[in-house]
Amino acid sequence: MMHEEYEELMNEINKEVYLERIRQNEKWGIQRHTYGAWLAILVEEVGEVAQAMQKNWGWGKPTDAQNLYKELIHVAAVASAIAEQVREESEIS
């Protein structure tokens, strides 16, 4: 893959993460949690990534997450939300 194509791919994925952040804010409002609560949310999303990976390998249950790409976007979006809070808190201190 050429450098320009790779940059375009990165931009497309980052745009999807951004759009997921917007969707999350529209659904739940701007969230602020303890880091322990954020960790639980993030781990739950990572668990869905694991389920989707298992599904791709023919493992798992019929109820497991199926869209690996979508679940990875969710993980990135939750991590982004945590980073937003960390940045806000560091600017306030």
Tens-digit pLDDT profile for residues 24-41: 999 999 999 999 999 999
pLDDT: which is higher, 59 or 52: 52
Tokens of 84: 């937003």
What is the structure's pLDDT at 63? 65
What is the structure's pLDDT at 64? 62
What does the alpha-carbon distance between residue 89 and residue 81 come to, in Å, rounded to a whole number?
13
> Which letter does DSSP use for residue 64 in this model?
S
Residue 58 region, left (φ>0) first, then alpha (ψ -120 to 50), else beta? left
- Per-residue pLDDT at 1 exceeds 80: no
**Contact partners, residue 31, CB within 8 Å, separation at least 6:** 24, 81
Tens-digit pLDDT profile for residues 2-21: 888 989 999 999 999 999 99
Percent of the chain whose pLDDT exceeds 70: 91
Give the type of residue at 56.
Answer: N
